[in-house]
Amino acid sequence: MTQTHAHRAAAGKPRAELAHLLRRAGFTPTDAELDQAELLGYRATVERLLSPPPPADDEQYLVHRHLPATELPIEAAMAAPEVMWQLITSGHPLREKVALFWHGLFATAFKDGNAGVDQAAQIAMFRRHGLGSFADLLVRLSLDPAMLVWLDNQLSAADRVNENFGRELLELFSMGRGSYDEQDVHASALAFTGWSVRPGPSAFHLGARPMWFHYDAQRHHGSPQQMLGRDVANGHDVVAAIMAQPATARYIATRLYLFFSEQSPHPETVAAMADTFTLTGGDIRAVLRTLFTSRRFLDPAVRRVQVKSPVELVVGLARTAQSWSVPDHRLGELVDAAALMGQRLLTPPNVAGWASGEAWLQGANLLERINFAARLVGASALLASRAEQTGLPVLDACLSALDLDDVSEQSRDSLARAIGRLGDDGGPASGRAMTLAVAVPEFQYC
């Protein structure tokens, strides 16, 4: 271990690049994750991240056994601990990170008739299919009960068309404003009439009854309409029409770039990602491969420039500073902690998803983030022992344990002075030093 940490403290170029990749394609990396990546090398690590196995069929039972309210959850708040558990304990961080991306882009929240169990099922769908084909994802989204209820499609009928889903599918979920007209929206909405839901069987008397997709032929508008230059008669045709538009490739490439790389699109890289999208028929895995292996992504200028979203910040801390063997009440506390910083899982503020970037730091949120992190790392035996095992001086040991090897000289000097003034209260010096270290501005970024 000591040797590895010495290596890391030297912050060799490959290790810094791997840490960047792991932060963006996942969450704050643990030492074990970084060590494994270093053994594999950059390209193989990218491939490993891009090819997670599907989630195990039985993984949710552990959460249900320990937190019974998460089984057939009635409200979003009851479903959120299970999502948090997956984010924290998954051995395949990109699978979870991509699910978080789609949760933000296809933002679905609670609505009358939309139970937590349906939202949990939607997240499960993102985890299983989020790295696959975008066309497939759009079809699944159009069949997803939580989404259909959220955007009022379940009552949309030929004689009473509700355009909400048909519109957002184009505007927010696939093409972006300005690449279609009102006629396209109307055609899209007509094609989705009759795409509805009905209650599924209830498994037992407690808990919510999940919704199932239900095609209501009576309500479906049968005759084909012109949309984006083609005839569309049903939702599958709409998705096919969307996939044929260059705007879709550009829009999804841009959204992925903003989420995984930096807050302003880098034209050359986004164009390359859009080309990959077009060539592969919308293979998200291939588009992300283009990004992660691009020159821009490895440019030090894009490192530590993304403000961690509250969920990313909380998950990163929970993965590195806490031990998790079975699900417990701390999951709900972590969900609430992120909510207090402005991001409640399964409850995006509206269909456009959460704000991003520096807006997360507004006002007192910065203090909330620092104070939460200070409480967690100060109480972490795991981090303290990790820091002590490095055999490095306290400052370097703490920065290394906190994934902050790359802080600026100013931060390092300020921290060194503050740590130098720490008295001896008998506790491990590293715990108190780490409490101070999370105040550095760099901690806010990934």
Partner 1 sequence: MSSSFVVIHLAGGNDALNTVVPFTDPHYIAVRPTLALQPDSELPTLRRPGREDVPGGSGVLPINDSLGLHGALTGFRDLYEQGRLAVLLGVGYPERDRSHFRSLDVWHTAEPHQVRSDGWLGRVASVLDPQHDNPVLLTNIGRSMPLALAAPGVMAASLESIGGYGLLSPADRRGGGGAGGVAHADLAALAASLYQGRALPNPWGSAQQVGVSAIRGIRSFDAVPDRGETDVQYPPFNPIAARLEIIARIATAGVGAQIFHTTHDGYDTHENQFATQHRLLADLSEAVTVFLDDLAQRDPLDRTLILIHSEFGRRIAESRGGTDHGGAGVAFLVGNGVAGGIYGDMPSLRREDSIDGDLRPSLDLREVYTAILQRFLNVDAAAVLGKALGSLRLDRTVA
Q: What is the DSSP secondary-structure string of 338-364? A: HHHTT--TT--SSTT----GGGGGTTT
**Least distance between partner 1 and beta carbon 410 (Å):** 7
**Least distance between partner 1 and beta carbon 187 (Å):** 24
Strand partners, 211: 199
Sequence-distant (6+) residues with CB within 8 A of 163 are 185, 186, 189
Nearer to partner 1, 327 or 353 (CB): 353
**Least distance between partner 1 and beta carbon 434 (Å):** 9
Nearer to partner 1, 166 or 342 (CB): 342
Question: Residue 187 phi/psi, 5° resolution?
Answer: -65, -40
Nearer to partner 1, 328 or 358 (CB): 358
Question: Residue 99 phi/psi, 5° resolution?
Answer: -60, -40
CA-CA distance, 350 to 329, in Å (whole number)? 28
Nearer to partner 1, 327 or 342 (CB): 342
**Least distance between partner 1 and beta carbon 362 (Å):** 5
Nearer to partner 1, 83 or 274 (CB): 83
**Least distance between partner 1 and beta carbon 381 (Å):** 15
Question: Nearest 5°: CA angle at 212, between 208 and 213?
Answer: 150
Nearer to partner 1, 254 or 365 (CB): 365
Looking at residue 379, its amino acid is A
**Least distance between partner 1 and beta carbon 79 (Å):** 16
Nearer to partner 1, 2 or 408 (CB): 408
Among residues 106, 123, 102, 113, the alpha carbon closest in space to that of 75 is found at 113
| Residue-wise burial string across 301-339, b where 16 or more C-beta atoms lie within 10 A, e elsewhere | ebbbebbbbbbbbbbbbbbbbbeeeebeebbbebbebbb
H or E element that contains 39? helix 31-40
Question: Nearest 5°: CA angle at 215, between 211 and 217?
Answer: 145
**Least distance between partner 1 and beta carbon 66 (Å):** 27
Nearer to partner 1, 240 or 339 (CB): 339
H or E element that contains 36? helix 31-40
**Least distance between partner 1 and beta carbon 365 (Å):** 6
**Least distance between partner 1 and beta carbon 193 (Å):** 20
Q: Is 78 helix (H, G, I), strand (E, B) or coil?
A: helix
Nearer to partner 1, 57 or 424 (CB): 424
Q: What is the DSSP secondary-structure string of 273-333? A: HHHHHHHTTSBHHHHHHHHHTSHHHHSGGGTT-SBPPHHHHHHHHHHHHS--SS--THHHH
Residues lying near partner 1 in the complex (CB under 8 A) are found at 109-112, 307, 339-340, 342, 347, 349-350, 352, 355, 357-359, 361-368, 370-371, 374, 378, 410-411, 413-415, 417-418, 421-423, 425, 427, 431-433, 435-436, 439-441, 444-445
Nearer to partner 1, 131 or 147 (CB): 147
**Least distance between partner 1 and beta carbon 407 (Å):** 10
CA-CA distance, 282 to 286, in Å (whole number)? 8
- For the packed helices 267-279 and 284-292, what is the interaxial angle rounded to 10 degrees? 150
| Residue-wise burial string across 1-26, b where 16 or more C-beta atoms lie within 10 A, e elsewhere | eeeebeebbeeeeebbbbbbbbbbbb
Looking at residue 377, its amino acid is V
Nearer to partner 1, 54 or 113 (CB): 113
Question: Nearest 5°: CA angle at 339, between 442 and 406?
Answer: 10
Looking at residue 290, its amino acid is T
**Least distance between partner 1 and beta carbon 366 (Å):** 5
